[in-house]
């Protein structure tokens, strides 16, 4: 029997299992690409405004870190500098989640052992997962190229950017295949793969910041660190400028080496175990683990810690760049108008900026809530049944996880607001005047985030097997409507689908209590419905 026997059947099984999740990723990332590109083109049709923006961005370390490499002042190059990084990061997370889901998660839930009892080769599961993700990234690259052409950009640059996105996603999938072999559990493998993405982002950022600007001031030549990152390779293709197709060979070579290494590592470990063995725990459990709340905290604390570190880093950048944003906004009346729309229409540019920032951070922290609540589904398909055989009731178990997620959501919002105010205050020399106000402004997003929590809990109670797809679809709709709906001038009735559209734009305007109370009531109703539905249904494996 060949090590690859059964790959085709496992690929069909993976396609069936991901028939909702992968299309959602592809549609959302393509819409983000198209809408963002159209908005950038509308903003910078004027050559003078585009040149001013390019020069400002090339000289700003923070903008280089969070926007991406500057490859000229052409319309397509400016659009690519604003969208390529976002889509590549989306492709990276789509790829690594899918690889871990179809390898280590299958082992953790017992599916791999069941499948392995049939005529299936040693490498079939990993090969099927890789083929699935490679196909998804190729489709993503083609869709993005078509979206860029639909935005009236040149076809050559569009296909160069599409190829860069596809091969970057494949490179991260290959790295995730290696990461899947090392730790014992699926969550640890996801964390390790996500850490690889973080290191790639950091290396790319260091390379761009330490590079030098050309004499014209419109192009950044990256430092050596950027050439050690798949994200940096994607940007070095420089679509709509040089179109360096040869850089794609670096991603192909890295992918081939990583996949080969993953296949070798699979032969050196047993199913359900990683190369790195978990240390034995203490002989007696601490008192905190004797309650459902303590157990939920133990399971969720790693996720909250990772998000906390990420929020501090993001708040550092957003707070520190606040004063520099004024120059970018003032360089174009159109940019000022867009920031005013996203920030609630206030007269103060900085207040508009922070209102827009906290709208984005509120959505991002909603992503934390979705990720943390999906732990409910993995627990239900694994260790929940023995736990419920004790004195623990279903409502008590569910309430413990929901309580940790709600507390974590509030904590992250407060942390984001306080850190943003601290770092901005340090830049402008007025720390005390901003920490409190911006913390309150960030906490205004709490009811909308909790409404998303209620939506996920209700989905878990009603359709447990589709919880992940429904939850991420809801989050994606909120993200699209919140960040792109205003730019596309969608009808208010459509924008109102997102709970975040009902949040007062603090600190631009006084906080209205009524919409916050309504959102909290909706969150409570949805959460209560989820509890009732979960209590009445059978456990879904």
Backbone phi, psi, residue 44, to 5°: -125, 40
User: Over 80: is that where the pLDDT of 509 sits?
Assistant: no
User: Over 70: is that where the pLDDT of 290 sits?
Assistant: yes
**DSSP state for residue 221 in the 8-state scheme:** E
Would you say 477 and 494 are in contact if contact means Cβ atoms under 8 Å apart? no
Centroid of chain to Cα 421: 24
Q: Identify the residue with better confidence: 216 or 42.
A: 42
Span 403-417, average pLDDT: 94
Would you say 427 and 319 are in contact if contact means Cβ atoms under 8 Å apart? yes
* Euclidean distance between CA atoms 524 and 453, whole angstroms: 9
pLDDT, residue 325, reads 64
Would you say 332 and 52 are in contact if contact means Cβ atoms under 8 Å apart? yes
Backbone phi, psi, residue 71, to 5°: -120, 35
Q: Identify the residue with better confidence: 508 or 224.
A: 224
* Euclidean distance between CA atoms 12 and 97, whole angstroms: 18
* C-alpha to C-alpha distances, 353 to 148, 311, 322, 361, 437, nearest whole angstrom: 28, 17, 8, 12, 14
Would you say 401 and 407 are in contact if contact means Cβ atoms under 8 Å apart? no
Radius of gyration, alpha carbons of the chain: 24
CA neighbor of 534 nearest in space, from 482, 471, 439, 467: 467
CA neighbor of 99 nearest in space, from 235, 249, 247, 255: 255
pLDDT, residue 105, reads 83
Burial of 380 (0-12, 13-18, 19+ CB in 10 A): buried
Would you say 132 and 18 are in contact if contact means Cβ atoms under 8 Å apart? yes
If phi over 0 gives left and psi between -120 and 50 gives alpha, with beta otherwise, what is residue 240? left
pLDDT in tens, 346-380: 556 677 778 878 888 898 899 899 989 988 888 88
Lowest mean pLDDT among 333-337, 524-528, 534-538: 333-337
pLDDT, residue 523, reads 95
Per-range mean pLDDT, top range of 30-39, 240-249, 442-451: 442-451
* Euclidean distance between CA atoms 311 and 361, whole angstroms: 9
* C-alpha to C-alpha distances, 131 to 10, 14, 109, 168, 505, nearest whole angstrom: 10, 10, 22, 15, 45
Q: How would DSSP label each residue in 173-194?
A: HHHHHHHTTSSSSHHHHHHHHH
CB count within 10 Å of CB 333 equals 12
pLDDT in tens, 60-80: 665 676 677 777 778 888 888
3-state secondary structure of 285: coil
Instruction: Give bridge partners of residue 71 from the DSSP assignment.
Output: 219
Q: Which residues of 130-147 are buried (b: 16+ CB within 10 A; e: fewer)?
A: bbbbbebbbebbbbbbbb
pLDDT bin (cut points 50, 70, 90) of residue 336 is: low
Element (H, E) at 220: strand 220-221
pLDDT, residue 142, reads 96
Instruction: Give bridge partners of residue 212 from the DSSP assignment.
Output: 221
Burial of 149 (0-12, 13-18, 19+ CB in 10 A): middle
CA neighbor of 364 nearest in space, from 469, 442, 432, 426: 442
* C-alpha to C-alpha distances, 256 to 126, 174, 251, nearest whole angstrom: 14, 8, 9
Would you say 14 and 102 are in contact if contact means Cβ atoms under 8 Å apart? yes
What lies within 8 Å, CB to CB, of 536 at 6+ separation is none
Span 103-122, average pLDDT: 77
Average pLDDT, the chain: 84
Q: What percent of the chain has pLDDT over 90?
A: 30
If phi over 0 gives left and psi between -120 and 50 gives alpha, with beta otherwise, what is residue 153? beta
- pTM for this predicted structure: 0.78
Q: What percent of the chain has pLDDT over 70?
A: 90
Lowest mean pLDDT among 98-112, 118-132, 484-498: 484-498
Would you say 223 and 208 are in contact if contact means Cβ atoms under 8 Å apart? yes
pLDDT, residue 485, reads 66
Lowest mean pLDDT among 180-189, 270-279, 296-305: 270-279
pLDDT bin (cut points 50, 70, 90) of residue 507 is: confident
- Measured N-to-C along each axis, helices 186-209 and 292-320 cross at an angle, to the nearest 10 degrees, of 10
pLDDT, residue 130, reads 94
Q: Identify the residue with better confidence: 367 or 327.
A: 367
Element (H, E) at 213: strand 212-213
User: Over 60: is that where the pLDDT of 296 sits?
Assistant: yes
3-state secondary structure of 487: coil
Q: Could you give the maximum distance between any two Cα atoms of the chain, in Å? A: 72
**Alpha helices, DSSP H only, in 429-512?**
432-443, 446-462, 467-483, 492-495
pLDDT bin (cut points 50, 70, 90) of residue 251 is: very high
Sign of CA dihedral 366, 320, 238, 154: positive
Would you say 295 and 400 are in contact if contact means Cβ atoms under 8 Å apart? yes
CB count within 10 Å of CB 444 equals 23
Span 208-214, average pLDDT: 76
User: Over 60: is that where the pLDDT of 334 sits?
Assistant: no
CB count within 10 Å of CB 4 equals 17
User: Over 80: is that where the pLDDT of 343 sits?
Assistant: no
Span 301-317, average pLDDT: 83
């Amino acid at each position: 029997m060949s090590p690859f026997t059964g790959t085709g059947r496992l690929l069909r099984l993976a396609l069936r299992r991901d028939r909702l999740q992968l299309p959602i990723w592809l549609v959302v990332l393509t819409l983000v690409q198209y809408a963002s590109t159209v908005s950038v083109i509308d903003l910078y049709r004027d050559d003078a405004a585009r040149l001013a923006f390019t020069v400002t961005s090339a000289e700003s370390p923070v903008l280089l870190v969070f926007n991406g490499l500057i490859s000229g002042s052409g319309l397509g190059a400016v659009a690519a500098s604003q969208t390529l990084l976002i889509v590549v990061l989306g492709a990276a997370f789509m790829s690594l989640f899918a690889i871990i889901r179809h390898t280590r998660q299958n082992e953790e839930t017992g599916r791999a052992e069941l499948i392995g009892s049939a005529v299936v080769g040693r490498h079939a599961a990993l090969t099927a997962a890789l083929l699935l993700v490679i196909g998804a990234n190729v489709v993503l690259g083609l869709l993005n190229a078509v979206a860029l052409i639909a935005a009236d950009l040149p076809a050559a640059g569009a296909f160069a950017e599409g190829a860069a996105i596809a091969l970057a996603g494949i490179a991260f999938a290959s790295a995730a295949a290696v990461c899947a072999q090392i730790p014992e559990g699926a969550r640890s493998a996801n964390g390790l793969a996500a850490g690889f993405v973080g290191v790639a982002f950091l290396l790319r950022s260091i390379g761009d910041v330490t590079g030098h600007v050309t004499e014209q001031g419109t192009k950044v030549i990256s430092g050596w660190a950027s050439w050690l990152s798949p994200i940096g390779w994607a940007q070095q293709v420089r679509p709509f400028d040089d179109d360096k197709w040869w850089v794609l060979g670096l991603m192909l070579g890295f992918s081939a080496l990583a996949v080969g290494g993953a296949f070798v590592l699979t032969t050196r470990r047993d199913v359900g175990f990683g190369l790195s063995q978990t240390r034995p725990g203490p002989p007696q459990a601490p008192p905190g683990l004797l309650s459902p709340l303590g157990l939920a905290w133990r399971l969720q604390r790693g996720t909250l810690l990772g998000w906390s570190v990420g929020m501090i880093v993001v708040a550092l950048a957003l707070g520190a760049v606040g004063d520099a944003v004024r120059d970018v906004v003032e360089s174009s009346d159109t940019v000022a108008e867009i920031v005013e729309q996203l920030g609630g229409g206030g007269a103060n540019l900085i207040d508009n900026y922070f209102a827009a920032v906290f709208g984005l951070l509120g959505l991002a922290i909603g992503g934390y809530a979705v990720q943390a609540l999906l732990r409910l589904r993995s627990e239900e398909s694994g260790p929940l049944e023995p736990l419920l055989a004790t004195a623990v009731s279903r409502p008590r178990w569910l309430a413990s996880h929901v309580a940790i997620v709600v507390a974590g959501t509030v904590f992250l919002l407060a942390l984001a607001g306080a850190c943003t105010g601290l770092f901005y205050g340090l830049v402008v020399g007025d720390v005390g005047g901003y920490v409190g106000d911006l913390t309150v402004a960030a906490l205004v997003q709490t009811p909308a985030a909790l409404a998303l929590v209620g939506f996920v809990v209700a989905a878990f109670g009603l359709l447990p097997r589709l919880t992940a797809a429904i939850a991420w679809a809801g989050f994606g709709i909120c993200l699209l409507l919140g960040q792109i709906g205003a730019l596309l001038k969608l009808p208010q009735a459509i924008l109102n689908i997102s709970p975040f559209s009902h949040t007062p734009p603090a600190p631009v305007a006084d906080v209205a209590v009524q919409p916050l109370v309504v959102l909290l009531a909706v969150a409570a109703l949805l959460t209560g419905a989820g509890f009732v539905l979960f209590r009445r249904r059978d456990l879904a494996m």
